[in-house]
Amino acid sequence: MYFTPILPIDIKGNMDAELLSLAEKVCIKSASLKGSHNPFIINAIKELLRKTNSYYSNKIESEGTHPLDIEKAMRKDFSSNEREKKLQLLSLAHIDVQRYIEANASSHENIFTKEFILQLHCEFYIKEGMEAFLDISYEDKKLKMYPGRFRVDDVYVGKHIAPKYTELDTIFNLFENSYEAVYTPSTQALKLLYALSSHHRLVWIHPFLDGNGRISRLFLDAAFLNMGLEGYGLWNISRGLAREGDEYKKHLSLADMPMQGATDGKGPLSLRGLTYYLRYMLDIALDQIEFMNKNLQLNSLGHKIDKFVLLSQQGMLQSKPLPKYSSLLFKELLISGEVPRGSVKDIINKSDRTATTLIKTLVQMDYLESDTPKSALRLKLNAEFASYLMPDLIPSK
């Protein structure tokens, strides 16, 4: 069966109760993140986390592009350095695939298929600028990778010898059948364990010449959304994995181990290795949920907004100073989520002209957004703003 076991079940058929309890805790705490915020602020946070997820997932591969540079790329302001521009385009591709997943994963009946995984790879590598990543050097060979196609060479990664490329179709038939058969009727906690387990098994299969880590983490995002993990998007697992990159790779390697004796599960891979890996991933998930829960407290965010605006107006930040009355409008938007343009004068208790000037300036500075030039205003968490409000989320540059 190549990659079984797919769950931490021992030779007597007993589920690891500690892991199941930990998975239930992750599901409950993740759902609680949405409690205190309006939908508009939730969407602003999710938009910010798409950039940070791209940054951290690519950082695991030693190619992280700072969120400030990602925002520049989103405005078509690319670095004059060719390597940095390539990495900016890589980050944009990652964000685009996240959007694709968000639009498609929840309604997809079965994501555990080779078609879905090949589509993720294709969506990633057909994006602008990604052709530069299709020429692969492996040992003494120059290979060409094609978007949405399995590798046609045998590979090894560190100590792990990936399955032969001629076996990939058979392996993915087993992958689909193994996970889908037990995934749909399961509880949320069990689905979470399946999702985390499938992430490792996809890395283990190593279906592509390159991009396996990124695609496997994007697939994990898709699995979380497909299972309906409430609150996901207000936290992401890549930040935790990137902060302990060596530990992440170490636990992936533990789950690579072959079965260690007759008591180590019922499949060719080690049950103990899978258990160590799952406990690590659940601990990372809980850590990231707690981190975001701490940073999303309304009272704390309000105080930080006041300090950020004051520092800006004192010329203590790199960008130009924020205009007077910014703090009043920001904090109203933090609570209300969205306000009509005509209400701004009442919020700041000033004239229409002053309110209009304030709105125009803050839109130009990328702190406000709206659907049309006349529609209601929403708070935008740009990277500089967010790096002060949540300094441990976005590192200083």
Q: What is the pLDDT of residue 324?
A: 96
Q: DSSP secondary-structure letter at 372?
A: S
Give the mean model confidence (pLDDT) for residues 17-21: 96
Q: What is the pLDDT of residue 182?
A: 66
CA 254 to chain centre: 23
Q: Which of 182, 287, 183, 289 is nearest to 227 (CA)?
A: 183
Q: Does domain 17-295 have CATH number 1.10.287.70?
A: no
Q: What is the pLDDT of residue 1?
A: 63
The mean of the pLDDT values for the chain is 93
Q: Is the pLDDT of residue 345 over 80?
A: yes
pLDDT band of residue 100 (cuts 50, 70, 90) is very high
Q: Which of 206, 167, 387, 159 is nearest to 295 (CA)?
A: 387
Contacts of 133 (CB under 8 A, 6+ apart): 86, 90, 125, 145, 210, 211
Q: DSSP secondary-structure letter at 101?
A: H
pLDDT band of residue 139 (cuts 50, 70, 90) is confident
pLDDT band of residue 38 (cuts 50, 70, 90) is confident
Omega into 5 within 30° of 0, i.e. cis? Answer: yes
User: Same CATH topology for 17-295 and 298-389?
Assistant: no
Distance CA 27, CA 23 (A): 6
> What are the CA-CA distances from residue 304 to residues 293, 294, 297, 325, 331 (Å)?
15, 13, 11, 15, 10
Percentage of the chain lying above the pLDDT 70 cut: 98
Contacts of 84 (CB under 8 A, 6+ apart): 65, 69
pLDDT band of residue 108 (cuts 50, 70, 90) is confident
Distance CA 339, CA 379 (A): 10
Q: Is the pLDDT of residue 144 over 80?
A: yes
Judge whether 339 and 376 are in contact, CB under 8 Å: yes
Q: What is the pLDDT of residue 70?
A: 96
Q: Which of 206, 182, 203, 205 is nearest to 194 (CA)?
A: 182
Give the mean model confidence (pLDDT) for residues 284-300: 93
Strands (E) in 234-346, as ranges, are 338-339
pLDDT tens for 301-337 read 999 999 999 999 999 988 899 999 999 999 999 999 9
For residue 249, the number of C-alpha atoms closer than 13 Å in the C-beta half-sphere is: 14
Q: Is the pLDDT of residue 161 over 70?
A: yes
Q: What is the pLDDT of residue 184?
A: 66
Q: What is the pLDDT of residue 265?
A: 86
pLDDT tens for 168-216 read 999 999 999 888 766 666 799 999 999 999 999 999 999 999 999 999 9
Give the mean model confidence (pLDDT) for residues 136-145: 86
Domain boundaries, the chain: 17-295, 298-389
Judge whether 192 and 232 are in contact, CB under 8 Å: no
Q: What is the pLDDT of residue 185?
A: 67
Query: 298-389 architecture in CATH?
Result: Orthogonal Bundle (1.10)
pLDDT band of residue 159 (cuts 50, 70, 90) is confident
pLDDT band of residue 85 (cuts 50, 70, 90) is very high
pLDDT band of residue 137 (cuts 50, 70, 90) is confident
Contacts of 260 (CB under 8 A, 6+ apart): 270, 272, 273
Higher pLDDT, residue 242 or 244: 242
